[in-house]
């Protein structure tokens, strides 16, 4: 297994840690990196660092643990990493080691990982509470539980050590929800790479092409960019497969007269894009396909237009639902039960998911969607998806039967700016004729 080691721009990670330390007060935080994973036996799986750990360190070696202490003047940020080991590095790649890691990451102290157990109790002494996600790493979890039990046993007499555990997201989610300039640039790069991949896939469309062949064309573009990976399992769903929201088999062939829904995006620099387009396999929408497609694209445009700083995120969903309901009505398909379209069970038959989710280090990134029971207002620096869709299953009946087997979703990535929003994926067209022109355009 090889690792990417330390990544540049260490100052931003020091700044983030400083903000967390200020917020912690007399509490401590323990963040383990994601553990190494294996497929079978000793065969390694591709490694991805835990998002919270990466957000505060920029470090991508497995088997590391960060401890932050909001109290005290010394050793406020302490990192534990794997030591240098020539034999282990022969098999798994070079390690930075404690001394180099402390210097390059700017932490107060850095120790070999095998010292974590003996140091943990010392570091937590004096903490009133501990921010730690129980179950995140079995080895770290066991040591933390032991430290908590010890603190509980001594706490009644001496008041030493944490006696309460809080999820780190209580502090980190709000920070991660608002992206800084470097994060926005990473998201732009992931979006640009994703667009290139979609264009390559569209160029391969033809009757009889395998969904797996289209997936390969798209992901090859990602891989050529320094081995970038898909942000999530690519969905390449032709025909009625497009009506399965999380379709992932990608084993069917796409035929003339069908649509293929492609929900696939790149992860670059650990930041994720999330893009969906729906293409006609032979480069021409049928009249019914175009009718459904244009309703979805109008809903996408209306949802983006509804977004701005201070606007509740639920308004984005509401704007999309209004257009979808009106559009279905124009096709003779009832889609409301009275009241708001977004609350209609009739519309949910054809649009069963939300229009948006947060985007960042995770495809479905952290952050609450409501505050005090009310929908959260959008703020500058937030990044979210806009992804309306309409899906008519093969057994659609009544007035919807003529559209049976048609599934359309169109998804863009949107940044909230100081004065409005910016569509980060606007360079990949959505207008029906422009999408047709992409098919087979080599």
CATH number for 330: 3.90.230.10
Residue 197 and residue 95 share a domain: no
pLDDT at 73 over 70: yes
The token pair that represents 74 in the structure block: 């010394």
Within a domain: 407: yes
Within a domain: 5: no
pLDDT at 420 over 70: yes
Within a domain: 42: yes
Residue 183 and residue 162 share a domain: no
Residue 210 and residue 142 share a domain: no
Within a domain: 349: yes
pLDDT at 3 over 80: no
Q: Are 78 and 56 in contact (CB under 8 A)?
A: no
Predicted confidence at residue 148, as pLDDT, reads 87
Within a domain: 230: yes
CA atoms of 238 and 246, how far apart (whole Å) = 13
Q: Confidence class of residue 151 from pLDDT cuts 50, 70 and 90?
A: confident
Residue 190 and residue 150 share a domain: no
User: What are the pLDDT digits (tens) for 94-128?
Assistant: 999 999 999 999 999 999 999 999 999 999 998 99
Residue 240 and residue 159 share a domain: no
Query: Average pLDDT of 198-219?
Result: 98
Residues 242, 243, 244, 246: is their CA dihedral positive or negative?
positive
Which of 139, 172, 205 terminates a domain? The answer is: 172
Q: Confidence class of residue 6 from pLDDT cuts 50, 70 and 90?
A: very low
CA atoms of 264 and 252, how far apart (whole Å) = 17
Q: Confidence class of residue 339 from pLDDT cuts 50, 70 and 90?
A: confident
Please name which of 242, 206, 211, 249 lies closest in space to residue 406, comparing C-alpha atoms: 242
CA atoms of 12 and 20, how far apart (whole Å) = 13
Predicted confidence at residue 9, as pLDDT, reads 65
SS3 279: strand
pLDDT at 411 over 60: yes
Half-sphere exposure of 293 toward its Cβ, with a 13 Å CA cutoff? 24
Query: What are the counts of helices (DSSP H) followed by strands (DSSP E) for the chain?
Result: 13, 21
Residue 153 and residue 184 share a domain: no
Q: Confidence class of residue 337 from pLDDT cuts 50, 70 and 90?
A: confident
CA atoms of 242 and 405, how far apart (whole Å) = 8
Predicted confidence at residue 440, as pLDDT, reads 86
Query: Average pLDDT of 70-81?
Result: 94
Please name which of 377, 435, 433, 383 lies closest in space to residue 410, comparing C-alpha atoms: 435
Alpha helical stretches, state H, 307-414? 313-330, 345-348
SS3 254: strand
CATH code (residue 48): 3.40.350.10
Q: How many domains is the chain partitioned into structurally? A: 2
% the chain with pLDDT above 70: 94
Torsion of CA 217, 220, 221, 226, to 10 degrees: 180
| Cβ neighbour number for residue 60 with a 10 Å cutoff | 21
Predicted confidence at residue 392, as pLDDT, reads 98
Q: Confidence class of residue 338 from pLDDT cuts 50, 70 and 90?
A: confident
Whose tokens are 């990602």? That residue is: 222
Q: Are 34 and 49 in contact (CB under 8 A)?
A: yes
Predicted confidence at residue 36, as pLDDT, reads 67
**What residues form DSSP beta bridges with 271?**
268
Element (H, E) at 299: helix 287-306
Long-range interactions of 118-124: CB distance < 8 A, separation 24+: 119/78, 119/80, 120/30, 120/67, 120/144, 120/147, 121/147, 121/150, 121/161, 123/28, 123/67, 123/69, 123/75, 123/78, 124/28, 124/151, 124/161, 124/162
Residue 212 and residue 154 share a domain: no
Within a domain: 361: yes
Half-sphere exposure of 371 toward its Cβ, with a 13 Å CA cutoff? 7
Which of 172, 200, 229 terminates a domain? The answer is: 172
Between the alpha carbon of residue 111 and those of residues 1, 74, 120, 246, the distances in Å are 22, 15, 11, 43
Q: Can you give the pTM of this predicted structure?
A: 0.93
Residue 184 and residue 154 share a domain: no
Which of 140, 157, 172 terminates a domain? The answer is: 172
Domain of residue 47, residue span: 10-172
| Cβ neighbour number for residue 232 with a 10 Å cutoff | 18
Residue 362 and residue 424 share a domain: yes
Within a domain: 291: yes
Within a domain: 50: yes
Predicted confidence at residue 132, as pLDDT, reads 97
Residue 131 and residue 262 share a domain: no
CA atoms of 204 and 105, how far apart (whole Å) = 44
Residue 186 and residue 45 share a domain: no
Residue 160 and residue 50 share a domain: yes
Query: What is the rounded average pLDDT for all residues in the chain?
Result: 93
SS3 205: coil
């Amino acid at each position: 297994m090889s690792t990417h080691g330390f990544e540049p721009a260490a100052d931003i990670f020091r700044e983030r840690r400083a903000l967390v330390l200020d917020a912690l007060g007399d509490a401590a935080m323990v963040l383990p990196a994601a553990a190494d994973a294996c497929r079978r036996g000793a065969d390694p799986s591709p490694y991805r660092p835990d998002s919270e750990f990466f957000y505060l360190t920029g470090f991508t070696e497995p088997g590391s643990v960060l401890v932050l202490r909001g109290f005290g003047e010394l050793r406020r940020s302490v990192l534990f990493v794997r030591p240098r080991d020539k034999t282990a590095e022969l098999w798994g790649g070079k390690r930075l080691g404690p001394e180099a890691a402390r210097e390059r990451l700017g932490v107060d102290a850095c120790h070999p990982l095998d010292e974590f157990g003996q140091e943990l109790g010392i570091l937590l002494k004096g903490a009133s509470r501990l921010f730690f996600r129980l179950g995140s790493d079995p080895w770290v979890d066991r040591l933390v539980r032991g430290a908590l039990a010890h603190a509980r046993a001594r706490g009644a007499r001496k008041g030493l050590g944490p006696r309460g555990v809080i999820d780190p997201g209580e502090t980190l989610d709000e920070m991660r929800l608002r992206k800084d300039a470097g994060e926005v640039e990473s998201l732009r790069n992931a979006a640009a790479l994703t667009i290139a991949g979609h264009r390559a896939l569209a160029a391969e469309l033809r009757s009889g092409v395998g969904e797996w062949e289209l997936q390969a064309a798209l992901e090859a573009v990602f891989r050529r960019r320094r081995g970038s990976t898909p942000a999530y399992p690519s969905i390449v769903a032709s025909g009625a497969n497009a009506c399965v929201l999380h379709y992932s088999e990608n084993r069917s062939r796409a035929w003339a007269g069908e649509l293929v829904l492609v929900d696939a995006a790149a992860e670059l620099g650990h930041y994720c894009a999330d893009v969906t387009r729906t293409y006609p396999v032979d480069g021409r929408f049928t009249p019914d396909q175009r009718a459904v497609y244009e309703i979805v694209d109008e809903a996408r445009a209306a949802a983006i237009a509804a977004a701005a700083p201070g606007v509740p995120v639920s308004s984005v969903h509401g704007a999309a639902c209004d257009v979808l309901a009106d559009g279905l009505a124009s096709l003779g398909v009832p889609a409301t039960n009275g009241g708001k379209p977004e609350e209609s069970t009739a519309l949910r038959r054809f649009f069963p998911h939300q229009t948006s989710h947060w985007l960042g280090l995770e495809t479905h990134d952290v952050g609450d969607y409501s505050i005090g029971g009310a929908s959260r207002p959008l703020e500058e620096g937030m990044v979210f998806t806009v992804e309306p869709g309409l899906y008519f299953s093969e057994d659609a009946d009544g007035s919807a039967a003529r559209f049976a087997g048609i599934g359309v979703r169109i998804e863009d990535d949107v940044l909230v700016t100081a004065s409005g929003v910016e569509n980060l994926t606007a360079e990949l067209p959505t207008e029906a004729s422009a999408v047709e022109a992409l098919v087979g355009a080599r």
